[in-house]
Structure 1
């Protein structure tokens, strides 16, 4: 068991470079969007590079998708490789000063800087991904239930692992990451009661070298399944070389490890971004706090690898289908923590509020 400290949350300031991107979609020559109106200006702040093929890549693909949907009614700017800390506040403020109508800040550690800048620019809309601080009347929160996808991955791992041991490469000990580890372990444990998950914290969202080192260390300790809550394909490539199985993060990473990659959780942010920017255009935008999942089409799975046995595919698909239909919840008791204490009694299901504060491991997680 552990505590989540502010210092550890801010440790993601490992990438110092700040890159300002040219707006991806420009207004018409007249400077006007559809119907003669000025285009809505939307800014995006990314914690990693758009080429990470993981978290930031998924957000930027959604930004481009939103531009395709809304056309010249929107003009976007993004800033990548923004460290969680003072740099974030500076970048967010600069976007507001440069005339953004709405700013999306896409990492947990951007929360407090977003709140602070939102208070200074009451006429600008701000939206923070994966946060918990609602801010004021001009700030909204949005999140996705990634843990639902982790349950699909865990089901596959529990059925396909020969060693009964998975390695989990984790970024920072925040509830979003912890609940994903626990969901993975609980689902795997349903298939193999002796299954264990060994966690290695790399204290970075994106660091290919650290991620590869962590994967290799876990493989050398007997793991034959590698999963991750970090954003580069390096762990997958390590698994591919070792003949293990693995899972992509936030996007389909099959091309990096065609034999190891069983499936991936895909983050579908485009509908949300399109809806929220359209609301700014219509004058109907309101603050809110949403946590969307498979049932909303925001969390989906990439195609299953053909190498997966048919019974594994069927079991994984059933978890996905039942979750989407509201008939499966991985955090239903009985659930014990690492010490063996019952945390969730039989038949009870953890609430969203409890999940969003999760700071303990389930039985079978090793850290």
Structure 2
């Protein structure tokens, strides 16, 4: 996908937001991996930015840079935003982790927040959501609704966040349908509509009648609608324009409350580096409306599962569970600890194929 030249467009992007501000007012910056109109991941982060504007009004200015590639370009974009006077900068993709740490070391008076990573510093906090909780609900619905017993999964990059999602969806599909099989295509992109559509078509041609995705565009939804007889789930955003079929539900990332809270901490002078990982219970992960295309009993089961996860009475990774190689992982009733989940680099028993390096 063609990207805009970052430094050439920085002035335009940084000019966005409310127009007139005093020098002592807070500026919150956002670095996005995709376009704000991607309909998925970046779209929801940008909704969070807009929520900050609505909440604080003239007290806070927001600026953003979209479609920033991970790597060296990210470091340049983050640096430019810091030089332009941002007081807090949210970098919203896993591949921004090292660039964020590098820039933060040069700007100790600027606060940084990195999404989905794990490296912190005195002026760098990290935050993410327990997306795997939503995957459990998707897996339950998928296992109940598939007719071919073949479920396709479009994965982005082989990092723990994505691997957790695959495992969670598979565990819960397998619980309700022992005959289910998963086929996984690694797209090696967060946002590339053409590549995502091709992956969806390949999975459908191979017999999958359910498509799950951990990529950011609505292209898999469109491919499934074109094929007919295939169900999908919105990723990161509701993607409700494809309901009631093929999209039957979704995982919705709700970043607004977190962004408001962290910007308020900057205003109050109470901001500290922190590590936040919230899920359905705290409202950071939402489950989009389950459409009438889902049988009533399956919908009721899915909502009961959601409620149990939210209440903390059920953990999606509860034993007995084995690893793909057949070795024991979790005993009966034992739940996975966060350290294992955060570093997850293995499939559970029953999944086929290898995790790429």
Give the TM-score of the pair, scaled to structure 1. 0.92
SS at match of 1:250: coil
User: Aligned partners of 1:356 and 1:194: how far apart in 2?
Assistant: 29
Give CA-to-partner distance per residue, 1:77-136, whole Å, 9 cap, x none: 1001111100000001111111110000000000001001101100000000000111x2
Question: Is residue 47–residue 84 contact of structure 1 (8 Å, CA) maintained in 2?
Answer: yes
1:16 aligns with 2:3: yes
| Residues 25, 74 of structure 1: 8 Å contact kept | no
User: Matches of 2:37 and 2:235 in 1, distance apart?
Assistant: 13
Residue matched to 2:314 = 328
In the other structure, the counterpart of 1:138 is 123
Q: CA deviation at 1:346?
A: 1.8
Counterpart of 1:158 in structure 2 is: 143
Partner of 1:11: none
- Aligned position for 2:89: 103
The answer to whether the 8 A contact 1:244-1:260 is kept is yes
How far apart are the structure 2 equivalents of 1:298 and 1:215? Answer: 27
Of 152, 158, 183 in structure 2, the residue corresponding to residue 167 of structure 1 is 152
Question: CA shift at 1:27, angstroms?
Answer: 5.0
Whole-angstrom distance in 2 between the partners of 1:239 and 1:347? 37
Aligned residue number for residue 199 of structure 2:
214
Deviations 1:32-74 (A, max 9, x none): 3xxxx73201110000111110100010011001110111111
Are 1:293 and 2:279 matched, yes or no?
yes
Shift of 1:15: 5.3
In structure 2, the partner of 1:234 is 219
Partner of 1:282: 268
Q: Is the Cα contact below 8 Å between 1:154 and 1:183 reproduced in 2? A: yes
| Structure 1 gap ranges (5+) | 1-13
Secondary structure of the 2:113 match is: strand
Counterpart in the other structure of 2:102: 116
Q: Which residue of 2 aligns with 1:177?
A: 162
Conserved 8 A contact 2:29-2:86? yes
1:195, distance to aligned residue in structure 2 (A): 1.4
Q: Given the two structures, how large is their TM-score scaled by the length of structure 2?
A: 0.94
Partner residue in 2 for 1:263 = 249
CA contact (8 A) 2:244 2:293 kept: no
Matched residue count: 347
Alignment partners' CA distance in 2, 1:333 and 1:196: 20
